Amino acid sequence: MEAPLLEVKDVTKSYFENGKEFKVLDLIRFELAERDFVCVVGPSGCGKSTLLRIIVGLEPPTSGQVLFEGSPIRADNPQVAMVFQSFALFPWLTVTQNVELGLEAQGISPEDRHGRARKFIDAVGLTGFENAFPRELSGGMKQRVGLARALAIEPLLLCMDEPFSSLDPLTAQNLRDEILQLWANPDLPPKAVLMVTHSIEEAVYLADRVIVLSSRPGHMVAELEIDLPRPRNRKEPEFYGWIDEIYSLIV
Amino acid sequence: MRGLRGRLRILAGIVILVAIVVAILDPQAAFNAVQLPLFALFSTTRMVLAYLLSLVFAITFGATAATNKRAAVIMLPLLDVLQSVPILGFFPAALVFFVVTFQGSPVGIELAVTFLIFTSMAWNMAFGVYESLTTIPVDLEAAAASFGLRGMLRFRLLALPAAIPKLVYNSILSWSNGWFFLVASETFTAFGGTYTRPGLGSFITNAGIAGDATGIALGIGVLAAVVLALDTFVWRPLGVWSERFRMETTGHEVPRAPSPYERFRWLPRFPRLRRTFRTAIQPVVTKYHRASVRLDRTYSAHPQVLRDIRYVDLAMFVAILALVVVVGVLGLARLFLSRLPDAAAELPRAAASSFIRLGLAYGIALAWTIPMAAWIGRSPRGSRYITPVLEVAASLPATALLPIIVGFALIVTASLGPAAELSAILIALFSMQWYLLFNLIAGVRGIPEDLEEAARSFGLRGRAYWRRVLLPAMVPSLLTGSITAWGAGWNALIVSEYIPFLSPPPHVSGLGYLLDIATFRKPLPDNEMILLTILTMIVIVLAMNKLLWRPLYKRAAVKYRVEV
């Protein structure tokens, strides 16, 4: 059998302070296959962001392993892209230059870079803002740049750390729908999405599968298949049913 | 536009005609007039060289300290000491080294001068780079890592841009420092001779010796013109440009330091000339960009070579550091094991009188800068006329004003003794006061509008207003200004306590005087006394920083910070 896209195997993370051990994550274990849209939900301080940083290889786990296509993950893996809560745009680069960042690191020629950057800038609806600097954009537009930058390297896996938490509710909802559209388009990357959020409603709205974490130390409480048909309607009783179930699991 | 150009051409013709007539009538004046721009060019070249050295040093040092934790353990305290120590104290030692090495040839003296300017520019820039690199937001670092930015590419796209705002800011401060030391070092008397390198500083000093008032005025005028021109065409555009590199998440920056590229706002901005300049340098910038891309390629193609270079780098740093530490420790041990020289008995008294002198200058500076800052900071109309005057005065290094100050002191007081004392205090005052003034103005301007309005609506006026609003708001910037001012003051001591170009040389007792005697007024430099005097200064400066300013600063940062 072929290895799954991503395997998180018994990941544990501890910090040491004055010889004392603080466990942040305890035995996290799950898998991600192609076409999966998975959300990790948990209260603040449960180590979700740390988990994501470990999964993309920015931090090593204390024990356990993260495998991507069967081999240990590396931070600069061009098949994995990251979207940040704070956008993490380079303030001194234009929209195009920001989107080209990963391509430039891969040594792709300027002409190809421009072409691909334009394609994804168009895809996130930022046509006409190619030469703007991040500070000239609104929060929602900034996160679109962050998204285009991640998509531009045509990753297999898209990781998002609370991508909509610093946006106003309306903008956030628009972006959620757009992410779903992009993901539903088979011609566009990514193959799978892993998203960390503290909003249960957001998780139920977006994900096929929700991984529920509880805090101190962060451990897995449940892994739920959300089998609601898309597009999902927030007013339906089933939708509320899922929210209530996850809520009761966390509390 | 053609009309203007034509008129300029006519003007240039008239100037040339007048110049020819003057040259025939008064050859000496013509010679001076031709000389001055050349001197300005020499001095500026020295500054540029020292600055480029400082820039390279600051970036390598700052980047290494920020990325290599083990190296940072040694590098940061070292930088802290170097930054707070009176640099001019090293000048004699550096001079002896370079002059002896090059056997008195001009090259050695040029090197000594450049080195001195370098030491006045480099440290705060290095700190700026270090601070910028360690305060890059975590997410930005993560983004760079996850998108695979490495090596030169990471440096070019992340590290260098992140350092630019602080680098530009500190460069402006460094240039002010540099002028001070340039003027102090272009001419000096030592080992029975006078060494002079052609430049604005030596021109002013020589005019001072000759008592040539026109020469002094001309020299200072040209110096001011150079400073203003550089500010208009280099620093302010750079400052505006560097804003682009500022991180958007504005952290709580304590203190609210004045932005140096805010000064000289009243000068004309010459947009056309600037655009021409920008178009002129555009090819170079493009070429640099292409070269750096090519370098990236080569660089990332050979990771092994890269690692080797880094190891060699580190080994060299460790070796040099070990050498310096061993030599220093041995020297100190020898110094304290043998009997102290007799002159060492004068050290405590000299330190006390230097300290009192600086304290007096500091007091005078406070007495006028606090009310002045309160007035300028709150009255835009008044400041429109007074700010240009103050800024031009502040842009002139105290060392350049030395002849005027000494002359003034000689006129005011009859005999040489009190004149020397007065001029020493005045020079210290001129070195200290501007830091206080401009920091305080920034403090007053930083008072939030709604706080002012609240004070007004509750009818706070007069003494109550000063006590409740103005003075508390000034405290953090007063402390920042004080730290810098005292640093500058210690440097001023060395040029102010002994003025060699008058005969008999007026002098007052103090550390600067002792240092001068030990270095220059003996057949051979008295190494023990040089070392002891510098050590005494270092101890006093560090003690003041650690025991007085830093604790005060910490308390002020908590209590008087105005949340914006």
pLDDT at B367: 93
pLDDT at B51: 95
Distance from CA of B252 to the nearest CA of A (A): 18
pLDDT at B551: 83
Q: Do A91 and B142 touch (CB under 8 A)?
A: no
Of the two residues B94 and B126, the one the predictor is more confident about is B126
pLDDT at B7: 73
Q: Which of A50, A56, A79, A90 to mutate to test the interface with B (most CBs of B within 10 A)?
A: A90
- Rounded distance between C-alpha atoms, residue A23 and residue A13, angstroms: 6
Give contacts of B244 with chain A, Cβ < 8 Å: 91-92, 133
Of the two residues A232 and B7, the one the predictor is more confident about is A232
pLDDT grade, residue B255 (50/70/90)? very low
Of the two residues A217 and B351, the one the predictor is more confident about is B351
Task: Inform me whether the pLDDT recorded for B258 exceeds 60.
Answer: no
pLDDT grade, residue B188 (50/70/90)? confident
- Closest alpha carbon within chain A to B242: A92
Rounded mean pLDDT of A24-40? 87
> With 0-12 CB in 10 A as exposed, 13-18 as middle and 19+ as buried, what is A169?
exposed
For chain B, what percent of residues have pLDDT higher than 70? 83
Which of A57, A81, A90 lies nearest to residue B140, judging by beta carbons? A90
pLDDT at B378: 80
Q: Which of B238-252, B297-311, B452-466 has the highest mean pLDDT?
A: B452-466
Cβ atoms of residues A58 and B146 within 8 Å: yes
The 10s digit of each residue's pLDDT in A89-120 is 888 888 998 998 888 888 788 888 888 899 88
Q: Looking at chain A from residue 95 to 124, which residues have their Cβ under 8 Å from any Cβ of chain B?
A: 101-102, 104-107
Structure-token match 């604005």, residue found:
B200
**Parallel/antiparallel/unpaired status of strands A192-197 and A157-161:** parallel
Average pLDDT, chain B: 79
Give contacts of B149 with chain A, Cβ < 8 Å: 101, 105
Q: Looking at chain A from residue 49 to 68, which residues have their Cβ under 8 Å from any Cβ of chain B?
A: 53, 56-58
Question: Residue B237: left (phi > 0), alpha (psi -120 to 50), or beta?
Answer: alpha
pLDDT at B359: 94
Cβ atoms of residues B419 and B409 within 8 Å: yes
The 10s digit of each residue's pLDDT in B275-284 is 787 787 777 7
Residue of B246, B203, B237, B243 whose CA lies nearest to B222: B203
- The interface predicted TM-score of the complex, written ipTM, equals 0.80
Give the CA distances from residue B515 to residues A95, B97, B421, in Å, rounded to whole numbers and listed in that order.
58, 16, 17
Q: What is the pTM of this model?
A: 0.76
For chain A, what percent of residues have pLDDT higher than 70? 99
How would DSSP label each residue in B89-137?
Answer: GGHHHHHHHHHHHTTT-HHHHHHHHHHHHHHHHHHHHHHHHHHHHHTS-
Q: Do B245 and A92 touch (CB under 8 A)?
A: yes
pLDDT at B30: 64
Give the CA distances from residue A219 to residues A40, A52, A89, B420, B516, in Å, rounded to whole numbers and listed in that order.
11, 14, 31, 77, 70
Distance from CA of B139 to the nearest CA of A (A): 5
Which of A57, A86, A149 lies nearest to residue B137, judging by beta carbons? A86
pLDDT grade, residue B256 (50/70/90)? very low
> With 0-12 CB in 10 A as exposed, 13-18 as middle and 19+ as buried, what is B459?
exposed
Phi, psi (rounded to 5 degrees) for B432: -95, -40
The 10s digit of each residue's pLDDT in A129-175 is 988 888 888 888 898 999 899 888 888 889 999 988 888 888 888 88
Give the CA distances from residue A62 to residues A27, A46, A76, A125, B69, in Å, rounded to whole numbers and listed in that order.
10, 16, 20, 41, 21
Task: Inform me whether the pLDDT recorded for B190 exceeds 70.
Answer: no
Of the two residues A140 and B526, the one the predictor is more confident about is A140
Give contacts of B153 with chain A, Cβ < 8 Å: 104-105
Provide CB contacts within 8 A for B475, sequence distance 6+.
B443, B556, B559, B560
The 10s digit of each residue's pLDDT in B434-451 is 888 888 888 888 777 777
B378 touches chain A (CB under 8 A): no
Q: Do B147 and A102 touch (CB under 8 A)?
A: yes
A75 touches chain B (CB under 8 A): yes
Cβ atoms of residues B494 and B434 within 8 Å: no
Count of other CB atoms within 10 angstroms of residue B118: 22
Task: Inform me whether the pLDDT recorded for B64 exceeds 70.
Answer: yes
Rounded mean pLDDT of A73-87? 85
pLDDT at B45: 93
Q: Do A78 and B153 touch (CB under 8 A)?
A: no
Q: Which helix (H) or strand (E) holds B187?
A: strand B187-190
Give the CA distances from residue B462 to residues B366, B367, B446, B450, in Å, rounded to whole numbers and listed in that order.
20, 18, 20, 19
pLDDT grade, residue B254 (50/70/90)? very low
Q: Which two tokens stand for residue B318?
A: 């460790």
Which of B146, B158, B245 lies nearest to residue A58, judging by beta carbons? B146
Phi, psi (rounded to 5 degrees) for A60: -80, 145
Give contacts of A53 with chain B, Cβ < 8 Å: 142
Cβ atoms of residues B336 and B93 within 8 Å: no
B240 touches chain A (CB under 8 A): no
Q: Do A91 and B146 touch (CB under 8 A)?
A: no
Give contacts of A78 with chain B, Cβ < 8 Å: 148
Q: Which two tokens stand for residue B487?
A: 């640093």
Q: Do A82 and B153 touch (CB under 8 A)?
A: no
Task: Inform me whether the pLDDT recorded for B428 exceeds 70.
Answer: yes
Rounded mean pLDDT of B35-47? 90
- Closest alpha carbon within chain A to B290: A110
Mutual angle of helices B200-210 and B398-412, in 10-degree steps: 10
pLDDT at B266: 63
Distance from CA of A247 to the nearest CA of B (A): 29
Give contacts of A135 with chain B, Cβ < 8 Å: 248
pLDDT at B463: 78
Task: Inform me whether the pLDDT recorded for A127 exceeds 80.
Answer: yes
- Rounded distance between C-alpha atoms, residue A154 and residue A250, angstroms: 35
Q: Do A105 and B137 touch (CB under 8 A)?
A: no
